Amino acid sequence: MHKIVSEQVDCRYSLITPFLSKIPQLDAVVGRGGPLKPLKSGIYKINDEMLSDYINQTYSNHASNLGAILAYKISKLYSCPSYIIDPVTSDDFIPEARISGIPGIERKSRSHTLNIKYCVYKAEQKLNLPNKSGNFVVSHLGSGFSIASVKNGKIIDVNDALLGMGPFSIERAGAIPLQGLLDLVFNEKLTKSQLIELFSKKSGLMGYLNTNDLREVEKNINLNPQVKLIYNAMIFQICKEIGSAFATLNGEVNGLILTGGLCKSKLFTDYIKNKSKYFKNIIVYPGSFELEALASGGLNALNNPRKVKIYHS
């Protein structure tokens, strides 16, 4: 996987350069923040230590590692600073959220942090709340699901959006009954890499219905009882996780935010709304707002340089 990342840098940069040739000046460049060590959310200046962790894939082999690498490369062309904003491993958990139930295994903060926090910012503006003053349950529902408890601008608890927590999603398994997991591992004698592939890419709707296209599923929910059952089960698990996040915030919540690609479906969001009527506000932001979040964060970095954090491996 290391070779794939190193090969893609030059390829992707060559695709960007024709566009850059039309831009005489940039004040900053902001890239998508891939997985790093757990660190406080916020704005980070891209430095050699961060680049080393991304290039060497110290924490993940995810394609989002390319965001910071390309941003830094572009910034050198314009002699301007480069940043990442709220990377996926941003960690503002409260201590209780880290405890798994098994000594030696800690719950990790891995979520769609960038979009979640920006949607909270949008919701606070919509509800006329001061910035970072509100409490929200945010459900980012795309190929993976992040259902977060956000208190005063910080994600204090969230399911692991990649492996092992929360509802099953389009391709991911979510939380798994332990006895079934043990039986699967020992009976099928699956390797670690096979299990990761199964749980992150071949489970959820893909596993049950052999599709990762919600539109296709929704076309068939009234034609096929099995399709309807799996669709309803996914929403059932989403709403159960939303209820857990509500309880984490002691019910002191300004609203529920639904965002991500699946929220473009009115049928899908209406199902969730009908099961979540205990929220006084339900706000839907269909799709994702990462580009807006990056632009906003870059402007914030330029206007408030003291807010910029330094990354250390």
CATH 3.30.420.40 in the chain: give the residue spans. Answer: 2-91+292-310, 113-287
CATH 3.40.50.150 fits 113-287, yes or no: no
* Virtual torsion, Cα 20, 308, 35, 283, nearest 10 deg: -90
CATH of 2-91+292-310, one of 3.40.718.10, 3.40.50.720, 3.40.50.300, 3.30.420.40: 3.30.420.40
What pLDDT score does 161 carry? 82
pLDDT at 2 over 50: no
Cβ 46 vs Cβ 83: under 8 Å = yes
Q: What are phi and psi of 289, to 5 degrees?
A: -125, 35
**Cα(205)–Cα(211) distance, rounded to whole angstroms?**
6
> Does the pLDDT value for residue 66 go beyond 70?
yes
* Predicted TM-score (pTM) above 0.75: yes
Cβ distance 158 to 109 under 8 Å? Answer: yes
Q: What is the pLDDT of residues 259-277, one digit of tens each?
A: 999 999 999 999 999 999 9
For residue 229, count other CB atoms closer than 10 A to its CB: 12
The pLDDT value recorded for residue 3 is 55
Of 52, 61, 53, 49, the residue nearest 36 (C-alpha): 53
How far from each other are the two terminal CA atoms of the chain, in whole angstroms? Answer: 21
pLDDT of residue 257: 98
Stretch 149-166: mean pLDDT: 92
Convert the pLDDT of each residue in 202-255 to its tens digit: 999 999 999 999 999 999 999 999 999 999 999 999 999 999 999 999 999 999
